[in-house]
Structure 1
Amino acid sequence: MSCRFDLHPITRRSLLGGIAASSALVLLHPFTARAAANQAHLRLMETTDIHVNVFPYDYYADKPNDTMGLARTATIIDSIRAEAANSLLIDNGDLLQGNPMGDYMAYQHGMKNGDVHPVIKAMNRLGYTVGTLGNHEFNYGLDFMFKVLGGANFPFVCANLTKGQLSSDPKKDDLYFKPYVIVEKQIKDGSGNESQVKIGFIGFVPPQIMLWDIKNLEGRAQTRDIVEAAKAWVPAMKEEGADIVIALSHSGIDGSAPSEKMENASLHLAAVDGIDAIFTGHQHLVFPGPKSWDGIANADPVKGTLHGKPTVMAGFWGSHLGLIDLLLEKDGKSWTIVDFTAEARPIYHRDDSKKVVADVGDKKEVIEAAKAEHEATLAYVRTPVGKTSAPLYSYFALVADDPSVQIVSQAQTWYIKQMLADTEFKDLPVLSAAAPFKAGGRGGADYYTDVPAGDVAIKNVADLYLYPNTVQAVVITGNQVKNWLEMSAGMFNEVKPGTVDAELLNGDFPSYNFDVIDGVTYQIDLSQPRKYDNDGKTINESSNRIQNLQFDGKPIDLDQKFVVVTNNYRAGGGGKFPEIAADKVVFQAPDTNRDVIVRFIHEQRTINPSADSNWTFKPLPGTSAVFQSGPKAKQFLADVKSVKLEDAGEGAEGFAKFRLLL
């Protein structure tokens, strides 16, 4: 269909609202209020990256949390539906993994035939029209995924996941799911008459699942480039009669040039002819929204457009509901988009003191749908497995050797030495790579591991290690160890000597890629630029941030071979670390990293997680840098011995600010 975008300035908060509590009146969206006899308002609503967060409850902290939960998002779905004459609800993936309820259902409950997963039970009560797959749908294996998705009362679509090798023509690929569905919806126009519009939904998953979940997908699946798949299937949707084509893209927004099998391809997907609107996800961000999207060509984070087409990314864990409102006009037998708005509506806000304030309550039907599994998950996560002699926390994991990362490395090393004891690699020195998963950032000021001394329960282990990764080991050289650390050092901005209060952390570098390698000692020289970009491409060949790298008290032999124990994500090429890929893997464990930590704590009975300060920053006299952490970090400030830190006041969005004296 042709699209005539005739935008008019609309102040969303002044014109939109929910159901007024005092009068029970509904303030209609202006498209519904002003639609002419040949026009109709269509509202499309998105949830994305729910990650099994049905309840507004943080299982790791074992307490309620007002920033999350499909039960909260569901409450605003009702009022938002009431604002429009015609509406549809979709989900954009990452449903099945991400909190202990997901692990409980996969590993303890087992999903027997006829069982319906709690997140699917909740979604069935909300009347979804269609969904697509996220990368985390594959974490527990294909069989589990199909069993769970089979319980949904709505279809799932994915145009770039095949059962085997790719065909020369994408339309001949043997796909696991339908590439698209066309929904024939009766919609009311401005005069109250009904007529039919055909809305096509096409779905996409990041091609990188073949790296991230190779253990579950190798030999059973392949992925095609997102844009390539779209260019093949969108014309077919038009030929089948779709008036409007909506892309469900579990893929973020990246302003760099198109590349083959791009992970965050939504910007370039929007440029595909025939696509009318985009729902995105995967990055756990909000679009339209500020800051994160500045400077990206063809992206308008105010209007909410990519290449001029309405686009939404609705946060994560149910934090927002994505809305795309279309004003349609009938021209003969077809529909044309003549206006649109885009918005990500939150379920909470922060008051002047930065305290989280819930904007909505729970939807009773959703809570009831998952109540039994919620209670079973609570019992599961509260099971003790041992004790810790000291607190486990990650407040300073990005600036100093850290107890929460240390215990992961201790467990991994303990495990791999047993596994390789009777192999050809038994005499090679063992190193361990681990990263802080909960280190604030987009997760917010409370998103840190914080386990007090005393009993350690399963919820604490899951808090230490968020993902159901499995243990793998690679054999690499000392030089490759150094480059691994050079890549990790991309966590930090370059700091010129003598600078006062430079910004320390690179906000675009995820904490789960900040690997600390235990078994060697080293310093990070912040005065040098990063050697690699986030994609592992060399950008400063001569840079050497990693200084004084030593093994066994001596400068590391760059030709010596080492076993490095890590996880399947990293060993398979996840994070694009230089020269770290599946061809280096010498051991693939049947055990998850979390299970190994549980077994280690159980055997040790009482663990000592004290950090050994094997890494620090190279001194830069007269230089300081600042970073943010959670407010509770202040109580642990005196415990950090390897670097000099001091309180630097209040940060943004509920964070506290700290100063690193270099």
Structure 2
Amino acid sequence: MRILQTGDLHAHVFPFDYDHDHPIDTLGLARTASLITAARKEVGNSILLDNGDFLQGSALGDYVAYDRGLRDGDLHPVIAAMNVMRYDAATLGNHEFNFGLPFMMAAIRRSQFPFVSANTLIERGETPHDDKRLLPPYVILNRRIRDKTGKAHPIRIGVLGLLPPQFTTWDETQIDGKLFSRDIVETATALIPEMKAAGADIIVVLAHSGIGERIYSNGMENAAYPLARLPGVDALVTGHTHMLFPSQQFANMPGIDITRGTLEGTPTVMAGFWGSHLGLIDLFLEHKCGKWRVLDSQSSIRAIAETTPDGKRVPLVESSPRVLRAVQHHHDATLDYMRYPVGKTKVPIHSFFALVKDCISVQLICRAQQRFVAQKMKRGPHSSLPILSAAAPFKCGGWGGPENYTNIPAGPLHQRNLSDLYCFPNTICALRLRGADILDWLERSAGIFNHVTRGKHDQPLLNDAFPSYSFDVIYGLTYQIDPSQPPRYCPQGTLINPQSQRIRNLHYKGKPLDLDAYFLVATNNYRSSTRSAIYGADASEVVFAEPINIRTILYNEVTQKPVLDARPLPNWSIAPMPGTSFTFETSPDAARFLADLGNIWIDHLGENANGFGRYRLWP
């Protein structure tokens, strides 16, 4: 029996880059659908599952949520595409809640397949058995499968849905007091025997959770390791981290066999993101004495595109016409929405160098947030506090590839350019923090840089395990980052070198930052909800929050100016290190902007096998 998986689609159906207004061959469920059709034809028995994060993440998803809405009887375009492909079951991801609970429920109401989620709770009981849930925790699919002689046999396939318990915190402005959660492993441990008692012959755990630490801890976000060790789990479908399993990304890790595709001996798969891959688990089953058991397995992934030796991405499949037809109307409406003019810019705006120097793509967000909060807080108990602003470069390559950068040419600005600048549906808030908290926040951000040696040439600068969306820049301050010092925090936010200090010359208005003084920091709701992982919850205070999308704030900022002449102001830099050089990757398109960088020296070194440009920085 073949288990087919999609996951982390993030509302990508058409193979189209709405932010840059052109077709693209590396994403879209319409392309994955062709792989699904081919994989089904190869075997007699298969089921198709999705493990969450399907509603949010593209302009199509944003358009339906914010502009069109879901009117009575409307079919969400992603659900329409999934219905066409005859999914058997799906679970929720954390991003399903970004647009609010009513929208999510309206979207999944018209699915022709069941949604399951065991730890999305409307009331938490003493044990998982006592919990009251938003959706069924699992489904048992009654199927008939054929053996190699063609004889049909009944089989009952149990599918259990799980997601990170942190979703209640990440979207607390949307669901606070309405939904609760429970630990992934605790929930699965309680419900797997219940599923067996209900008649499940085999059990598939459909977990919107990645492969994280091997040792179990309560409340784990990425709990695939301990899930794979639970008795009764016949197959594990993972996601959330946008990685690929089995693949070289997990080579030489304990308990992993990337040849067979097992985690702690359990057949496991993870299918990337945005429809980039299809995940497959082939279970070889035996029916004996009235019971089914798994004799063997093979997990694999199939890509919709490949990278040629010269770094070009070429498609391996065409789009499914049925899926395109199901979503065509919404796709066309999204194009109209994204092409709507909103202003002009005198200078190009891009994020190609946002991880190595001041960047206007980040500062535009910071300035808009700062002015909005200043206007809202000009009266009240905190009106005398200075206002800073924090933002991160969301689109800086990474797993998204060499095209995953903000890139807005000089000239007319359209709605799509605002989406290119700010791709998440975050809302505005402000925190009251001491200078010491802000310093520690910056130390956490500085973990994006590898520990380097002064006087050594061509050292890799960026830690690939640190996502760019965690590299917060705090606007209104000036500071340097010294990566010759060890990082104070690891990429997961754990304190590893308490005495280390990478942040140098931290100033506010030309004077050393007073670590005891209080400031307001404009930021987004996601960062506010995860603040305890950055600088300690006890030291922070949310003093302002409104359900206003930051992209709306950007829109108001841009439309109020006849022409945007945006240039970065001094904010942060890598500390000077004579006789030292670093290498880093960014878009190959960045080379044409090297002459505009001012007092920072960067050389273009060509392209690598993955299509990224290679560059050398002399700090």
Say yes or no: TM over 0.5: yes
Deviation at 1:80, TM superposition (A): 0.8
2:266 match: 309
2:91/2:115 contact within 8 Å kept: yes
Deviation at 1:303, TM superposition (A): 2.0
Deviation at 1:580, TM superposition (A): 5.2
Q: Does 1:212 align with 2:170?
A: yes
Deviation at 1:384, TM superposition (A): 1.2
1:19 match: none
Q: Does 1:620 align with 2:577?
A: yes
**Cα distance in 1 between the residues matched to 2:371 and 2:117:** 41
1:439 to 381, 384, 396: 396
2:77 to 118, 131, 135: 118
1:346 match: 303
Deviation at 1:581, TM superposition (A): 7.6
Deviation at 1:183, TM superposition (A): 0.7
Q: Does 1:69 align with 2:28?
A: yes
SS in 1 for 2:582: strand
1:52 match: 11
TM-score, scaled relative to structure 2? 0.98
Q: Does 1:83 align with 2:42?
A: yes
Moved more, 258-267 or 96-105: 258-267
Q: Does 1:526 align with 2:491?
A: no
2:385 match: 428
**Cα distance in 1 between the residues matched to 2:370 and 2:165:** 31
1:461 match: 418
SS in 1 for 2:496: coil
Instruction: Give the aligned residue type for 2:194.
Output: A
Q: Does 1:393 align with 2:350?
A: yes
2:113 match: 154
Instruction: Give the aligned residue type for 1:180.
Output: Y
1:234 to 170, 189, 192: 192
Cα distance change on mapping 1:580 and 1:621 into 2, 3 Å: farther
2:434/2:539 contact within 8 Å kept: no
**Cα distance in 2 between the residues matched to 1:530 and 1:294:** 25
**What are the superposed Cα offsets for residues 312-335 of structure 1, whole Å, 9 maximum, x if unpaired?**
000111111100001111111111
2:237 match: 279
**Cα distance in 2 between the residues matched to 1:294 and 1:473:** 42
Cα distance change on mapping 1:582 and 1:63 into 2, 3 Å: farther
Q: Does 1:483 align with 2:440?
A: yes
Deviation at 1:301, TM superposition (A): 2.5
SS in 2 for 1:606: coil
Deviation at 1:365, TM superposition (A): 0.8
SS in 1 for 2:298: strand
1:73/1:321 contact within 8 Å kept: yes
Structure 2 regions of 5+ residues with no counterpart? none
Instruction: Give the aligned residue type for 1:146.
Output: M
1:141 match: 100
Moved more, 306-315 or 602-611: 602-611
2:91 match: 132
**Cα distance in 1 between the residues matched to 2:129 and 2:112:** 26
**What are the superposed Cα offsets for residues 107-158 of structure 1, whole Å, 9 maximum, x if unpaired?**
1111011000011111101110000001110000000000000010000001
**Cα distance in 2 between the residues matched to 1:560 and 1:256:** 41
**Cα distance in 1 between the residues matched to 2:357 and 2:74:** 46
Q: Does 1:631 align with 2:599?
A: no
1:171/1:232 contact within 8 Å kept: yes
**Cα distance in 2 between the residues matched to 1:378 and 1:626:** 38
Instruction: Give the aligned residue type for 1:67.
Output: T
**Cα distance in 2 between the residues matched to 1:643 and 1:278:** 48
SS in 1 for 2:306: strand
Deviation at 1:386, TM superposition (A): 1.3
Cα distance change on mapping 1:524 and 1:296 into 2, 3 Å: same
**Cα distance in 2 between the residues matched to 1:440 and 1:65:** 15
Moved more, 129-138 or 576-585: 576-585
**Cα distance in 1 between the residues matched to 2:8 and 2:99:** 16
Cα distance change on mapping 1:160 and 1:583 into 2, 3 Å: farther
The alignment covers a number of residue pairs equal to: 619
**Cα distance in 2 between the residues matched to 1:581 and 1:376:** 46
Q: Does 1:552 align with 2:492?
A: no
Deviation at 1:534, TM superposition (A): 2.7
Instruction: Give the aligned residue type for 1:99.
Output: S
1:572/1:582 contact within 8 Å kept: no
Alignment of 1:168-207 (within 5 A): 168-207=126-165
**What are the superposed Cα offsets for residues 411-442 of structure 1, whole Å, 9 maximum, x if unpaired?**
11111110101121111101010100000011
SS in 1 for 2:560: helix
SS in 1 for 2:132: coil
SS in 2 for 1:565: strand
2:270/2:279 contact within 8 Å kept: yes
Q: Does 1:452 align with 2:409?
A: yes
Deviation at 1:590, TM superposition (A): 2.3
Deviation at 1:299, TM superposition (A): 2.0
**Cα distance in 2 between the residues matched to 1:637 and 1:588:** 39
Taking only the aligned residue pairs, the percentage that are identical comes to 46
Instruction: Give the aligned residue type for 1:70.
Output: L
Q: Please report the RMSD computed on the Cα atoms of aligned residues, expressed in angstroms.
A: 1.2
2:206 match: 248
Instruction: Give the aligned residue type for 2:358.
Output: D
**Cα distance in 1 between the residues matched to 2:252 and 2:183:** 25
Moved more, 428-437 or 608-617: 608-617
Deviation at 1:595, TM superposition (A): 0.5
**Cα distance in 2 between the residues matched to 1:427 and 1:614:** 23
1:517 to 463, 474, 481: 474
1:485/1:546 contact within 8 Å kept: yes
Alignment of 1:372-387 (within 5 A): 372-387=329-344
Deviation at 1:410, TM superposition (A): 1.1
2:215 to 245, 253, 257: 257
Alignment of 1:484-499 (within 5 A): 484-499=441-456
Cα distance change on mapping 1:337 and 1:416 into 2, 3 Å: same
**What are the superposed Cα offsets for residues 304-351 of structure 1, whole Å, 9 maximum, x if unpaired?**
111101100001111111000011111111111111110011111112
**Cα distance in 2 between the residues matched to 1:317 and 1:222:** 28
**What are the superposed Cα offsets for residues 604-658 of structure 1, whole Å, 9 maximum, x if unpaired?**
2322321113111111121111000110000111111253211122223001100
SS in 1 for 2:602: strand
Q: Does 1:587 align with 2:544?
A: yes
**Cα distance in 2 between the residues matched to 1:580 and 1:387:** 41
**What are the superposed Cα offsets for residues 508-544 of structure 1, whole Å, 9 maximum, x if unpaired?**
1010000010000000011101111233322111111
**Cα distance in 2 between the residues matched to 1:373 and 1:224:** 36
Instruction: Give the aligned residue type for 2:275.
Output: G
1:359 to 283, 302, 316: 316
Cα distance change on mapping 1:68 and 1:581 into 2, 3 Å: farther
**Cα distance in 1 between the residues matched to 2:538 and 2:352:** 30
**Cα distance in 2 between the residues matched to 1:307 and 1:345:** 22
Instruction: Give the aligned residue type for 2:481.
Output: I
2:460/2:582 contact within 8 Å kept: yes
**Cα distance in 1 between the residues matched to 2:509 and 2:596:** 26
1:501 match: 458
Deviation at 1:454, TM superposition (A): 1.5
1:268 match: 226
Instruction: Give the aligned residue type for 2:317.
Output: V
SS in 1 for 2:133: coil
**Cα distance in 1 between the residues matched to 2:215 and 2:566:** 44
Cα distance change on mapping 1:168 and 1:556 into 2, 3 Å: same
TM-score, scaled relative to structure 1? 0.92
Cα distance change on mapping 1:72 and 1:604 into 2, 3 Å: same
2:55 match: 96
1:501/1:659 contact within 8 Å kept: yes
